[in-house]
């Protein structure tokens, strides 16, 4: 299982949109659907450096990012992807 929250202005707003998935592929498909074609599965990357978020009980929180958003190629512009949310596999339900 994997849990995902989109990037929002506050943690409260983000947690209001939390979704749980059976696997990473299902999560990525959901993200692509939510972004109405502005993001593709191939451009979604997950950070390799997990952090413990004690505020919500997510033990291995990772950044979910996209390399390209619409016509903006963040890798070419900045050399790193744009964060669009967070995910975890070790979390309190």
Q: Which residues of 48-77 are buried (b: 16+ CB within 10 A; e: fewer)?
A: eebeeeeebebeebbbbbbbbbeeeebeee
What is the mean pLDDT of the segment spanning 16-41? 97
Question: Is the residue at 93 inside a domain?
Answer: no
Asked whether residue 93 carries a pLDDT value surpassing 90, the answer given is: no
Question: Is the residue at 32 inside a domain?
Answer: yes
Question: Is the residue at 58 inside a domain?
Answer: yes
Asked whether residue 78 carries a pLDDT value surpassing 90, the answer given is: yes
Please count the structural domains in the chain.
1
Q: What percent of the chain has pLDDT over 90?
A: 97
Report the mean per-residue pLDDT for the chain: 97
pLDDT tier at 37 (50, 70, 90 boundaries)? Answer: confident
What is the mean pLDDT of the segment spanning 41-51? 97
């Amino acid at each position: 299982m994997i849990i995902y929250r989109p990037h929002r202005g506050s943690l409260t707003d983000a947690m209001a949109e939390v979704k749980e998935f059976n696997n990473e592929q299902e999560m990525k498909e959901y993200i692509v659907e939510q972004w109405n074609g502005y993001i593709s599965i191939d451009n979604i990357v997950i950070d390799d450096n997990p952090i413990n978020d004690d505020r919500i009980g997510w033990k291995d929180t990772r950044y979910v990012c996209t390399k390209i958003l619409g016509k903006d190629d963040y890798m070419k512009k900045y050399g790193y992807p744009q964060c669009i949310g967070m995910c975890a596999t070790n979390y309190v339900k």
